[in-house]
Amino acid sequence: MLAIQRLLVAVVALVAAALMHHVAATVPRRSPNFMTGFSSAGFDAASVKQMAEVGATHVRRYILWGDFENTLHSLDHNLTLVSLKADPQRLIYDYGSTLNWAYGDEQVQNTIAQNITPIVELSEGTHFGLPHYNNTYADPSVIGIPLYLAYQYRFCRAAVHRYKLMGVKLYQIENELNEALLSGFDGQRLVSFVWANWTFLTELLTVLRDAVKDEDSTASVTTNLHTDVPLVVHQLLDLPGYYLDALANWSYLLDVISLDAYPNMLVASPMGCTNVSSRVAAAMSVVAGTNKSVFIMETGYPVNADNNTNNVPAVFNFTTEAQAAYAYGVVNAVRDVGGAGVLYFKFTESLGMQAPPGGYTSEDVSFFHELQQFLWTNSIDSVIAWLLEPGSFEELLTRASFFMSQPDKNGWGAFRLDGTPRPIVAALKKAFLG
């Protein structure tokens, strides 16, 4: 039976990219320097000005290896961490001088010009962050772990060498690394068990930290931990990475703690503001006594398109009003438990989520109702029972994937495609400046 349970939990884990775990809050104490802003936003001058107008103090900027080296035509097998650290001028700074940094410079300079602090993300082992190589990506499973670590160290240190001169002092190293294996099944990374190797993940985080600190010892580093996959999934799959365990393992490598939390990614209600703040409080408990602050790097509430608002079942009723209420509520909930800030995902345009082909069915509602119970109880029993019902796997394979793709494809934007703001913009301004 255990093998069957693991198979069923694996199916749920792979198709439900945003799951969560409810934990108890600690005694609240407000942070005096609460960070507000966005984890994804435009970087042209007009967009940054809009962010400043709603009260943003921080914004994440993406300066990733693959953005500056789109393709590796060959591999330099002589590149090692030892050689890079021994001769940074020739092997790192001279290399950096060959790159066109215009894309990164515009992001950082426009942000600083509006007195907003940039948080520079330096590294992702996803297809968003890696160069192409040999008809795939320069993934560690493709080019080998030692060479992968050397390439990442070289690029990251070259970037810090440049952006420390512009005043950047906080860097995000990697992205949701604690759930790296599952992100492969979600299509973000190559599917390889190298991303389940905790020794490698820890070594990677160490190398990225070294790349920052070797170049600027006064800079701080964080990594955003994915918090949505429940503990029971990790236990049944015998998979490391549950966010509180990851934090306990990796906190010594981090100066600031950041979390990603999307309790309403797949279900519209109940609204998960206090669930997010509970995760912050739990993380604060793990690092209690270290003076390390905890903030939300990413959170969001997707929204339906304007043409998808009539006769929508409650579980799928992602209204603009609910999106605004979530944004306002989550900022204040995190503030009230003593969290250090909230960056919202995302301050850009989007169409809004669409209704499925043929409209909503009772089977759609049934599956996501059961998934909702899983989200809020951390109990897999109801989902397993549903999966064992006739027709459930067909529903899962033919219908559920549509809903699961909609938030990232169409759902997160604070603005409509024509640039008009949704109610969330006013709600964020009220929350940020309140």
pLDDT of the residue at 368? 87
- Residue 206 burial class via C-beta count within 10 angstroms: exposed 0-12, middle 13-18, buried 19 and up: middle
**Continuous segment of H or E residues that includes residue 236:** helix 231-237
Of 15, 22, 21, residue with least CA distance to 367: 15
The tens-digit pLDDT sequence of the chain (434 residues) is 333 344 344 444 444 433 433 333 333 445 568 999 999 999 999 999 999 999 999 999 999 999 999 999 999 999 999 999 999 999 999 999 999 999 999 999 999 999 999 999 999 999 999 999 999 999 999 999 999 999 999 999 999 999 999 999 999 999 999 999 999 888 899 999 999 999 999 999 999 999 999 999 999 999 999 999 989 889 988 999 999 999 999 999 999 999 999 999 999 999 999 999 999 999 999 999 999 999 999 999 999 999 999 999 999 999 999 999 999 999 999 999 999 999 999 999 999 999 998 899 888 888 888 887 787 777 778 777 877 888 777 777 788 888 888 999 899 999 999 999 999 999 999 999 98
pLDDT of the residue at 386? 77
Q: 415 pairs with which residues across the strands?
A: 349, 421
pLDDT digits (tens, 9 = 90+) for 353-372: 999 988 998 888 888 888 87
The predicted model scores a pTM of: 0.92
**Continuous segment of H or E residues that includes residue 149:** helix 145-163
Token pair 């082909």 in the structure block, residue: 357
Q: What is the DSSP letter of 354?
A: P
Spatial contact of 24 and 1, defined as CB atoms under 8 Å apart = no
pLDDT digits (tens, 9 = 90+) for 62-96: 999 999 999 999 999 999 999 999 999 999 999 99
Residues 379 and 23: their CA atoms lie apart, in Å, by 14
Spatial contact of 372 and 383, defined as CB atoms under 8 Å apart = no
Domains of the chain, first to last: 2-433 (3.20.20.80)
Token pair 């599956």 in the structure block, residue: 367
Buried b (16+ CB within 10 A) or exposed e, 359-391: ebeebbebbbebbbbbbbebebeebbebbeeee
The residues, any chain, with a CB within 8 Å of residue 67's CB and separated by 6 or more, are 103, 104, 129
Residue 396 Ramachandran class (φ > 0 left, ψ -120 to 50 alpha, else beta):
alpha
